[in-house]
Amino acid sequence: MGFNDQAPRGDSASYVNALNMWLPRADGAIMHIAPPWARLLAGASAESIVVNEMAWKVGLYRSRSFKVWITMDVTDGLNRAAEAPELVAAGRSITEPAVQLLYRRWVVVVDSVLRPDYLGLAAETNLIRLAAPANVYSAVVTMTNAAATDIHAIDPSRPLYVSLQVDAAWGRLGGGTTYIGVDQDFADFPFMTAIGLSSYPYLAGFADPADVPDDYYSRLAAGHNLPMMVVEGGWCSASVSGVTSDPAKQARYITRQQTLLQNAHAIGVFQLEFADIDTTGLNLPPTSILPLFTTIGLVDSNLQPKPALAAYDSAFALPLQQ
């Protein structure tokens, strides 16, 4: 159980304070990162970036005997219909073989230097398939499979995954109710030795955590004997954009999620946010969906606990199940 090291604000003090609050509440950590496309395109050394900017963080986690997950986000994390903003700004695309080679080199360096326990080569692949142009999804398939071959050539035992968007798999994004499944993902990413899950049920039309089916996670693994882990997700603590919620409802979700995890025999669960995100001064465009996710933290942006923190602490205190 653990978190990404997302800070509530851009200053170092809030980063350190949040880190000090969640580290004692975790036995694992996840790094959800996009390739630094602009710098890689400009000729920056992948080795230099990983060693100088990322290795210290993994060292901190290892000093606490944490297991470490790393998920690569190869498209726009806030708009799966689009490519990564840095690529768009540069007029480049993952459909280009040269850009795919940059990605492959990047993930090999990340794996070789940081040695994560689990490495995700792409995020929310089924949602990319549903939302993005076909050639972009095809590029994701091509580059991740090539990267998996590269990694396993030098590191044969590295567990690899892509993350699957649970709410999209159930056909619930956009108002549907018909289960779609993820068979295509298993066919397109045969290198998977684990299944990453992304789930935000409050965006999938569930009015209350109790309404989420018991097999919401486990159904995605039907027919595949692979370990599952939630690599991002949560429930908002405030009403936003047609979603009605409050801190008590969020706390109930943290408790409800334990049943979903147990039913899936999950090996891990991570939130990208320990603290809410303070959007003051960010000047978000009107079309940004970031506000949908800014209150899924277990503490607010001032690091004051919400009821969800106590629910999480109770779950974290349970004996580890092998």
Q: Which amino acid is at 194?
A: A
pLDDT value at 272 more than 60: yes
Burial class (CB in 10 A: 0-12, 13-18, 19+), 313: middle
pLDDT at 148 over 70: yes
pLDDT of residue 95: 98
**Three-state helix/strand/coil letters over 191-258:** CCCCEEEEECHHHCCCCCHHHCCCCCCHHHHCCCCCCEEEEEECCCCCCECCECCCHHHHHHHHHHHH
* Contact between residue 41 and residue 92 where contact means Cβ atoms under 8 Å apart: yes
In single-letter form, the type of residue at position 270 comes to F
- Homologous superfamily, domain 2-316: Glycosidases (3.20.20.80)
Q: How many CA atoms lie within 13 A of 123 on its CB side?
A: 27
Q: What is the pLDDT of residues 172-194, one digit of tens each?
A: 988 888 999 999 999 999 999 99
Q: Is the pLDDT of residue 287 over 90?
A: no
Q: What pLDDT is recorded for position 320?
A: 72
Report in angstroms the alpha-carbon separations of 55 from 49, 52, 113, 115.
9, 7, 7, 10
What is the pLDDT at residue 271?
93
Q: What is the pLDDT of residue 6?
A: 87
| C-alpha count within 13 angstroms, C-beta hemisphere, residue 250 | 28
Q: Is the pLDDT of residue 205 over 70?
A: yes
pLDDT tens-place string over residues 225-254: 999 999 999 999 999 988 999 999 999 999
Domain ranges in the chain are 2-316
Contact 193, 161 (CB under 8 A): yes
- Across the range 68-78, mean pLDDT stands at 97
DSSP H helices in the chain:
12-22, 37-41, 46-53, 55-63, 85-90, 97-114, 125-131, 134-154, 166-169, 183-188, 247-263, 307-316
- The pLDDT assigned to 322 comes to 57
pLDDT of residue 311: 98
pLDDT of residue 321: 66
pLDDT on residue 14: 92
Q: Is 12 exposed, middle or buried (0-12, 13-18, 19+ CB in 10 A)?
A: exposed
Task: Give the per-residue pLDDT at 283.
Answer: 83
How far is the C-alpha of 48 from the C-alpha of 31, rounded, in Å? 18
Q: What is the per-residue pLDDT for 62?
A: 97
- How far apart are the C-alpha atoms of 283 and 231, rounded to whole Å? 28
Question: What are the angstrom distances between the C-alpha of 225 and each of 67, 194, 218, 221, 265?
Answer: 21, 9, 11, 7, 11
Contact 254/314 with Cβ under 8 angstroms? no
How confident is the model over 12-56, as pLDDT tens digits? 999 999 999 999 999 999 999 999 999 999 999 999 999 999 999
